[in-house]
Structure 1
Amino acid sequence: MRKVEWSAEVEQVDWVRERLAPFESGEVTSVVPVGFGAYARVLHPAHDSQERPIRGFEVAAHNGIELPRDAHFPEIALQPPGDRSQAWNVVAPQEGTLCLAEATALVDILRQHTTSPDRCWFCLWDGYGWETSALYSIPSAIFGDEPQPGAEPGLYVGPDTQVSVPEPHGAPKDPIPRQVRDGPRAELPGREYFLYKGVLDAALAFLEPEQQTPNLWWPADRVWCLASELDLGWTYIGGSPDLIDHIVGDSRIEAVRAEPADSHHLRLPPWLVTAVDAAVSQVMQGHQGRVQTQLGTVTATARRPRRLRRGDLWTTSVRADGSSDGSGWTSLADRDEDALREDIRHQLAWAVIDLLG
């Protein structure tokens, strides 16, 4: 991992916060600041079973459709049930981060469009949980009220006992220093970040081994800004028209122009909206609802909430080849018919999207 210079100058993010539209608006400028001359959306690649990167236009072409400028991945990857041999089991793009190839290409491009490539700021979300990863590598610990007879040697942790557990050899190391975790955060609505600074190449600092790029970054002259929002399978960029022309025209990445008012709220293809609504109606009537796609089928049943108990929704997913893709359960609290219907619709739609991995 490249060395980074952590910073407590969290006020550096203030200019971004002051120029953001409300996040609930779903607009491009709720993620990157308003006021740039042009915007683009860099599409994160999907992957096939051999981990080969697959671009959005390839997925769309395979399914016989054009890639819309503001496409959401389910719109191009989820198709109605049909010839199973035509189904392409691609894994949806990774959310909230660029991969190495796209990040390296962008660093190269962005360097040509700033006067301060040696003075950049980077925000990294504080919720990735890297500090706890070493806990999963601690072997043979015994937790309980008393040691078990015949147990292998290990740790005994009683109800009032606190112990310091050394990390075993080879355990993952938290890349965020303790003093940084204990320090101030850069804050945006609904998000807190660790802040670091450095040369532009520091955007690649966490790609090995964490496979993560900054969620927000900009140069000191603030002529552009990138945002890889946690729940989005693409990265927004605001900058000059020349920069956006450069990005959209570079064959190393898949990028399309974006308008400030474009929405990042999840959008499903119309046929799937109809199928989900029909399944929800069945579930609301006490029957099993079913949504079929070319990749597989999701079924759902529910127990309605009552005065003294919550309700339940169960979903089961089966792939087109007959293999199980898992099942899920969620609690239903609302007894209002419209609210209950919307809750079931939301949960069922996400179960279908999960067929994309």
Structure 2
Amino acid sequence: MDDDVYRPVHRDPAPAFYGRLRVMRTTDLAPARWLAEHGPAEGDFGTVAGIAVPGFPAYARILHPASLDEHPVRWSAVAAAYGRTVAPTTRWHEVIGAEEFHRDSSVHGLPGVWDEHPWEGPTPPAIAQILLPFLTRHTRTPDDCWFGLWDGYGWLDFDGVPTFETPHRDRVLLSGPLADVASPATGNDDIWAELPDLWWPQDRAWCVGGDVDLVGTYIGGCPELIAEVLAAPGLEAHPVFPGDPVN
């Protein structure tokens, strides 16, 4: 049998900086401890609060757009083409009438409407850039923020780097200003670097949450922040509740 079949996948050593965000190598991960400080059954895996932390007065779900010829397409436009509508917890496969885990766009694309599924993973850079001014306005500490990056993204070797636990995920702690959250996705055309899954400011005024398996980004925060997110013309967002399922 070919030995290459079992050859380990090459992973680069964990960097000192992920984009411009510092990788925290200290064993004191106190800034992330509050993420787990909630009561039993709160923040369960697979719920809004399990992604964006329980305890906020309001939450929003931002849908990652589908695309047509590399241009973003709203879920509502796709749904309308199929004679359907999008509710706050609608799943993508329900929009296109597919089985839940079917991801073959060549079968389910609709000519003239969409040809690529929504991005599955943490917040896309384009959405991050739209969110930045809203998030900046609603924290006293935009230059002092924390980020959680899943240690399972395969191209970096985080073995030996301390991690903190969230529901079903271990994450590396990063630090830096909010303005640098999209920096991992810029500056290297040869590598696609995911944005952090979790973002929160030092004053804990809000939390942005995503996951490798989701086609939406979730935000918990004050009602004023969530109202701005819901009204943003560049976002397709819906109000959700902490116990709602995520997708």
Q: Which residue of 1 is the match for residue 220 of structure 2?
A: 238
Q: Which residue of 1 is the match for residue 20 of structure 2?
A: 3
Q: Which residue of 1 is the match for residue 32 of structure 2?
A: 13
1:27 aligns with 2:5: no
CA shift in 2, pair 1:127/1:188, >3 Å: same
SS at match of 1:235: strand
Partner Cα separation in structure 1 for residue 43 and residue 141 of structure 2: 29
1:39 aligned residue (53, 56, 59): 59
SS at match of 1:31: helix
1:226 aligns with 2:246: no
Partner Cα separation in structure 1 for residue 177 and residue 42 of structure 2: 29
Q: Which residue of 2 is the match for residue 126 of structure 1?
A: 151
Q: Which residue of 1 is the match for residue 118 of structure 2?
A: 93
Partner Cα separation in structure 1 for residue 36 and residue 141 of structure 2: 21
Shift of 1:27: 2.3
Which blocks of at least 5 consecutive residues in structure 2 are unaligned? Answer: 1-17, 100-107
Q: Which amino acid aligns with 1:226?
A: V
Shift of 1:181: 4.3
Larger Rg: 1
Shift of 1:253: 1.3
CA shift in 2, pair 1:263/1:113, >3 Å: same
1:207 aligns with 2:185: yes
Q: Residues 157-183 of structure 1, C-alpha deviation per residue, up to 9 Å, x if partnerless?
A: xxxxxxxxxxxxxxxxxxxxx7x6422
Partner Cα separation in structure 2 for residue 126 and residue 86 of structure 1: 36
Partner Cα separation in structure 2 for residue 86 and residue 246 of structure 1: 32
Identity %: 34
Q: Residues 108-158 of structure 1, C-alpha deviation per residue, up to 9 Å, x if partnerless?
A: 210010000000001111111113xxxxxxxxxxxxxxxxxxxxxxxxxxx
Q: Which residue of 2 is the match for residue 248 of structure 1?
A: 230
Aligned residues: 213
Partner Cα separation in structure 1 for residue 87 and residue 194 of structure 2: 27
> Contact 2:21–2:181 (CA<8 Å) still a contact in 1?
no
1:185 aligns with 2:163: yes
> Contact 2:230–2:239 (CA<8 Å) still a contact in 1?
yes
Q: Residues 195-227 of structure 1, C-alpha deviation per residue, up to 9 Å, x if partnerless?
A: 111110121121124242110110000010011
Partner Cα separation in structure 2 for residue 128 and residue 201 of structure 1: 23
Partner Cα separation in structure 1 for residue 63 and residue 54 of structure 2: 20
2:172 aligned residue (180, 194, 198): 194
CA shift in 2, pair 1:59/1:190, >3 Å: same
Partner Cα separation in structure 2 for residue 218 and residue 12 of structure 1: 10
**TM-score (norm. length: structure 2):** 0.78
Q: Which residue of 1 is the match for residue 8 of structure 2?
A: none
Partner Cα separation in structure 2 for residue 91 and residue 85 of structure 1: 7
2:135 aligned residue (110, 113, 126): 110
1:62 aligns with 2:62: no
Partner Cα separation in structure 1 for residue 109 and residue 217 of structure 2: 32
Partner Cα separation in structure 1 for residue 180 and residue 122 of structure 2: 14
Q: Which amino acid aligns with 1:217?
A: W
SS at match of 2:181: helix
Higher helix proportion: 1
SS at match of 1:90: coil
Q: Which amino acid aligns with 2:130?
A: A
Shift of 1:42: 0.7
Shift of 1:73: 0.5
> Contact 1:17–1:188 (CA<8 Å) still a contact in 2?
yes
CA shift in 2, pair 1:79/1:95, >3 Å: closer
> Contact 2:146–2:175 (CA<8 Å) still a contact in 1?
yes
Partner Cα separation in structure 2 for residue 15 and residue 101 of structure 1: 28
Q: Residues 10-35 of structure 1, C-alpha deviation per residue, up to 9 Å, x if partnerless?
A: 222111112372534x3211222211
Greater RCO structure (CA 8 Å; 6+ sep): 2
Q: Which residue of 2 is the match for residue 174 of structure 1?
A: none
Q: Which residue of 2 is the match for residue 53 of structure 1?
A: 72
Partner Cα separation in structure 2 for residue 125 and residue 85 of structure 1: 30
Shift of 1:91: 2.3
> Contact 1:47–1:54 (CA<8 Å) still a contact in 2?
yes
Shift of 1:240: 0.1
> Contact 1:105–1:252 (CA<8 Å) still a contact in 2?
yes
Partner Cα separation in structure 2 for residue 186 and residue 113 of structure 1: 26
SS at match of 1:121: strand
